[in-house]
A and B are shown apart, each in its own frame.
Chain A
Amino acid sequence: SAVISQKPSRDICQRGTSLTIQCQVDSQVTMMFWYRQQPGQSLTLIATANQGSEATYESGFVIDKFPISRPNLTFSTLTVSNMSPEDSSIYLCSVVAGSTDTQYFGPGTRLTVL
């Protein structure tokens, strides 16, 4: 299994500012992902955080808005840039670990943009 922690757990931010969310895993993992859960909605994959190379973004998400770093196999950051109220969501870090490709999720970061 994998235990994932995220910082901060929640934040309230002003429009136009940026927030960086940290994700720490208790073991080395190859695959790490960032998901978004907008209020009352399901989870949507933002991007795959690749160690040693640029992140791979899903349709509708761009690097300028959601820059991602992955300096090693246990850590990643997601920045939400130039925030607007529409960015108010829960952002979840996720990893795949184990021989059966099981996916694990962090506790999420609840972001409110005013």
Chain B
Amino acid sequence: AQSVTQPDIHITVSEGASLELRCNYSYGATPYLFWYVQSPGQGLQLLLKYFSGDTLVQGIKGFEAEFKRSQSSFNLRKPSVHWSDAAEYFCAVGAAGTNAGKSTFGDGTTLTVKP
């Protein structure tokens, strides 16, 4: 069975500081990996995804993530955080083809940005 672990429930960073959100996954085959952001009262917005190829993936809003197969990790990074980045972040693992859309989500990491 597939699973996702986000070890950090809550992270606080100062505006302008760098950010790294951790994600570890368990999946039997090559995983499809995603990061979503959910602002209060909003739906989920896809930040970036990894399907194959280059293990460093660029996303929207200045985010990037690196797929490390040896560590079963897909950590999200941003070099300089903005106050508007405060939100809930979810890592997810899924598949393609007939199982596309049946994603397993981590418990999420709440990001607080200090002025």
| A→B interface (CB under 8 Å) | 31-33, 41-45, 48, 92, 94-96, 100-108, 110
Are B101 and A48 in touch, CB under 8 angstroms?
yes
A107 to B42, CA, bound (A): 6
Question: In angstroms, how far is the closest chain B Cβ from the Cβ of A90?
Answer: 9
A107 to B104, CA, bound (A): 19
Are A102 and B46 in touch, CB under 8 angstroms?
yes
Q: Inside 8 A of B49's CB, which chain A residues have their CB? A: 100, 102
Question: In angstroms, how far is the closest chain A Cβ from the Cβ of B104?
Answer: 8
Whether, in the assembled complex, B68 has its beta carbon less than 8 Å from a beta carbon of chain A, the answer is no
Are A96 and B101 in touch, CB under 8 angstroms?
yes
Q: Inside 8 A of B103's CB, which chain A residues have their CB? A: 43, 45, 103
Q: Inside 8 A of A103's CB, which chain B residues have their CB? A: 34, 46, 94, 100-101, 103
